[in-house]
Amino acid sequence: MDIKGYFSILWAFVVRDWQRRWSYKLNFIAMLLYPIVWVSVFGVLGRTIDDAGGTGVPGGFSTFMVTGIITWRFIRVGFFDSSWSIRWEQHIGTFKNIYMLPNHLMVPISATALSGFTVSMLNFVEMWLVAELVFGISLNLTLPSFLFLVLAWLSVIGFGFAIAGIAILYKEIQAVFTVIFFSFQFFCGVFFPVDALPRSAQYVSRVIPITYALNGIRYSITHGYIPTTDLIVMPIAGLIGLAIGLVTLQLCLKKALKEGKLERY
């Protein structure tokens, strides 16, 4: 399959997904408002703590929280979109038509993930604007820091593929992964610094790539550069995550084909 063919498929998914979102008008509005509400709540919370004397976090706690929320929201879509999409296609019965393409299943799955990326980008821009214009939090987003953000997204895409594979076999598995992913909020320093965690929990933090993603992005915003450790860890974590994701997806696909769980028509 050539690049043009891939982009045609990618475009098909992007158009379909936005048409579908637009068909649910209230949900569409909620999708636009949700990140604004989120960043506002945590922006006010951070500012209140700053006004009360702060926590000693570089750049202020409001900046810390808003950066955490924006990054979290951005990478969350990469983590879940592929698996939700597969589950949804299976549920409504269109998965067979997607599967019957003469391409590897990775093609539509990755196209779905990239389609989800457009939502991530929209939410990111909204939250960034609210942070700047409403709370006066200057995020100083440079090209390297944005690229690092995209790298963070890519690092969780692999896990997204793995969950997508497992979702083919075990339909309700997302509930488990939702719990796991939200536990990352605790370990990875979304709402508070990792240093505030008990020492044993900090060991867990160090093996989750999202910790490095958040740290790197915060540093790039507050200090203007990304720490070397994060720069090294993120691409490696991304590659490992992607490899694990692809292998898991392949194994799950084979098992689903063997057990007849690929498509229940």
Partner 1 sequence: MVIKVKNLRKEFNGTHAVDGISFEVKQGEVFGLLGPNGAGKTTTVKIMATMLLPDGGTAEIGGYDVVKHPQKVRGIVDVITARDKFYRRLNAYQNMSFFSRLYGVDDWKDKMENYGGRLGLEKEDYQKRLGDYSTGMRQKLNLVRNLIRNTPILFLDEPTLGLDPVSSRKFRGLLKEIMDREEKTVVFTSHNMYEVEELCERIAILNRGRITSVGEPGALKKRIFPKRLVEFRYMEDGLPDIDDPAIDKIEKEGRYIRVYLEDGRRLHDIIEKIMSIGRITDLSVKEPTLEEAFIRHTEDEERSDEKVTAWI
**Closest CB 195 distance from partner 1, rounded Å:** 47
Binding site for partner 1 (CB under 8 A): 5, 8-9, 11-12, 15-16, 19-20, 23-24, 92-94, 96-104, 108, 254, 257-258, 260, 262-263, 265
Let me know: does 253 contact 162? Beta carbons within 8 Å: no
The nearer residue to partner 1, 111 or 162, going by C-beta atoms, is 111
The nearer residue to partner 1, 103 or 202, going by C-beta atoms, is 103
Question: Could you give the CA distance from residue 196 to residue 239 in angstroms, rounded to a whole number?
Answer: 29
**Closest CB 161 distance from partner 1, rounded Å:** 18
The nearer residue to partner 1, 52 or 92, going by C-beta atoms, is 92
Residue 94: CB partners within 8 Å, gap ≥ 6? none
**Closest CB 259 distance from partner 1, rounded Å:** 8
Least Cα distance to 18 among 32, 5, 33, 36 occurs for: 32
**Closest CB 238 distance from partner 1, rounded Å:** 27
The nearer residue to partner 1, 100 or 133, going by C-beta atoms, is 100
* 260 burial type by CB count under 10 A (0-12 exposed, 13-18 middle, 19+ buried): exposed
The total number of residues shown for the chain amounts to 265
Question: Running DSSP on this structure, what letter comes out for residue 102?
Answer: S
